[in-house]
Structure 1
Amino acid sequence: MNELWVNFPFVVVALLLILGFYTIGFKRNLIKVIIGVEILEGAVNMFLVATGYVNGAYAPIYTMAPKKALNNMVLPTPQALTLTSIVIGVAVSALMLAFAVNIYRRYGTLDVREIRRLRG
């Protein structure tokens, strides 16, 4: 039973990845595709956080940690990567939404099939 809780974040990551790829692959509305990309981004961030988790360890920024905790610190690299990923994700989301707004203004639809049909 204890192993289930250890792997629980990775199971959630796998479910979010499946949901994100399904949304990107099978939805026709551009806004729904953007939501699928955001779900994938959340799954990647959760994976980074889950890989950096150590049970009973201390955060590296905690300055009042006891002396015995110096050998039991969490690596700050996954946390830094997650923060960087969040910032990049916000910029990518804004860019995708700006493209969707421009596509809607030009073609009057957000349906991917209609936009492809209007290409020629």
Structure 2
Amino acid sequence: MELLVASAIGVLTAGGIYLLLRQRTFPVIVGLSLLSYAVNIFLFATGRLTVGAPPVLRDGVTIYTDPLPQALVLTAIVISFGMTAVIVMIALSAYLSENDDRIDMTDRVEDDA
């Protein structure tokens, strides 16, 4: 189980970094989303991956699941959704003002005259 979760985190991180290095805005947004999913899975996995264990300590229970990473992941999901909405609006306004969705500005020359 841990190998599967670690592999999923690695694949999501690698895919997210690859997409972040693209020159268009849409792959960058998808890459940021993949990275946030990888971080969420990593945070969730820090609370021990146990099946059927209660989330809090009870009398006589020795194995439990830590509820703090679950709360952190829920908060991170809400924050990443809000940040994705902000990034989409910034990318849309940049596209509408320039009629191009390229991220790098090295090939654009400003005329001062």
TM-score relative to the length of structure 1: 0.79
Deviation string, structure 1 residues 52-103 (Cα, Å, up to 9, x no partner): 134242123xxxx97423x332111101110111111011101100101110
The corresponding residue for 1:44 is 39
The corresponding residue for 1:117 is 107
1:20 aligns with 2:10: no
Matched residue SS, 1:53 = coil
Equivalent AA in structure 2 for residue 74 of structure 1: T
Deviation string, structure 1 residues 10-43 (Cα, Å, up to 9, x no partner): 1110111011001111x22101110000000000
Identity across matched positions, percent: 27
How many residues get paired? 109
The whole-number CA distance in structure 1 between the counterparts of 2:99 and 2:4 is 43
Shift of 1:116: 4.5
Change (3 A) 1:119 1:68: farther
Equivalent AA in structure 1 for residue 63 of structure 2: N
Query: Of 82, 85, 94, which residue of structure 1 is paired with 2:73?
Result: 82
1:91 aligns with 2:82: yes
The whole-number CA distance in structure 2 between the counterparts of 1:23 and 1:91 is 20
The whole-number CA distance in structure 1 between the counterparts of 2:91 and 2:60 is 54
Residues 23, 102 of structure 2: 8 Å contact kept = yes
The corresponding residue for 1:108 is 99
| Structure with higher helix content | 1
